[in-house]
Amino acid sequence: MEAQNNNELNELNAKKKAAYGTGIVVFILLIALTIGEYFVGSIAIGWSWPLWLIALIKAAFILRDYMHVNRLFSWNEESE
């Protein structure tokens, strides 16, 4: 019984670590893309399509990993 509880706890901790890890990776990607768009905007004045593309990629990451848009389609499941 105790071993089963320990296993469940370990599994929960592993899931929590993975969720935290995803948050960190997405944040690093967002920062890298922001720095990228800053340089694109400074160097290539008048080039707006790469900036739109970067903004769309950033928004997609936030929608998927921070706003969890997929939860809308999993009506009766747990949040995490």
Q: Which residues are at the interface with another protein (CB under 8 A)? A: 12, 15-16, 19-20, 23-24, 26-27, 30-31, 34, 37-38, 40-42, 45-46, 48, 51-52, 54-55, 58-59, 62-63, 65-69, 71-72, 75-80
- C-alpha 24/C-alpha 42 separation (Å) is 27
Say how far apart CA 9 and CA 15 lie, in whole Å.
10
Q: Least distance (Å) from another protein to the CB of residue 60?
A: 10
Among candidate residues 33, 28, 32, the one with its CA nearest the CA of residue 57: 33
**Shortest distance, position 58 Cβ to another protein, whole Å:** 5
